[in-house]
Amino acid sequence: MPETILITGFEGYGGRADNPSAEVASALDGESFGQSTVVGRVLPVTNHNLRENIIGLIDVHRPEVVLCLGLAPGEKMIRLERLAANYSRFEIRDNSGDTYEGPVVKDGPAAFDSTLPLDGVLAAVLECGIPARLSNSAGTFLCNAIMYHTLEYCSGELPGTRCGFVHLPYMPSQVSHLISATETKRQLELEQRADLASMALETQINAVRAIAGKLAATNQSVQER
């Protein structure tokens, strides 16, 4: 039977017009991997309806896999998150102008582990010659929150659905803008910036493509047993 891999990204935020997670989700929308087809969607960077937005997509598409993507400024490689904590602490405002500190879900479990086969996914990305690593913290902004909402909801409503989160680096164009802004403003020495790592968008797309392919193959192998 046809299966769905739901991949979500976020729009630009924090004064950034672009977000590689949105570009990757849009690029992979409609791609097929065996019996699995990707549905790629871009979400607004707002906390007040984040849960409703991701649950709405899950309810409509009933995916076998939910892979959420987000930007990690300064990250040097593809970063696979192991867990989502039930805690938010925004260091910047979301795109609605709001900040928040407190639980992602009141009285919810302290954390949820990713339900993706992370070791296999990591190996699939590395086999493509793309640097990647596992991470024990998805942060305290909306990336962590959407991972938590997804895992919490699917654990009760779609327990067979595997869910996880992947952080992506800046695109080179974003770092070029940062360098230009740093040179123009002359408020910070270039060597002091810790957020200048980047990865070509096509490389990021290929990394997430490898992840989707691995997850689709894993689904098929489970069904054939």
What's residue 179's pLDDT? 87
CA angle, 200 as apex, 63 and 20 as ends, to 5°?
45
Cβ–Cβ < 8 Å for 68, 147: yes
Query: Known catalytic residue: 202?
Result: no
Query: Known catalytic residue: 143?
Result: yes
Domain 3-223 has CATH 3.40.50.150: no
What's residue 224's pLDDT? 44
- Supply φ then ψ for residue 167, to 5 degrees: -95, 140
For residue 221, pLDDT beyond 70: no
8: buried, middle or exposed (CB in 10 Å: 19+, 13-18, 0-12)? buried
For residue 219, pLDDT beyond 60: yes
Residues 126-168: pLDDT tens digits?
999 999 999 999 999 999 999 999 999 999 999 999 999 999 9
**Active-site residue, from 81, 152, 154, 163:** 81
Query: Known catalytic residue: 152?
Result: no
Over residues 106-111, mean pLDDT = 97
For residue 99, pLDDT beyond 50: yes
Of 98 and 195, the one with more pLDDT:
98
For residue 27, pLDDT beyond 90: yes
**Active-site residue, from 68, 75, 143, 163:** 143
pLDDT band for position 52 (cuts 50, 70, 90):
very high
136: buried, middle or exposed (CB in 10 Å: 19+, 13-18, 0-12)? exposed
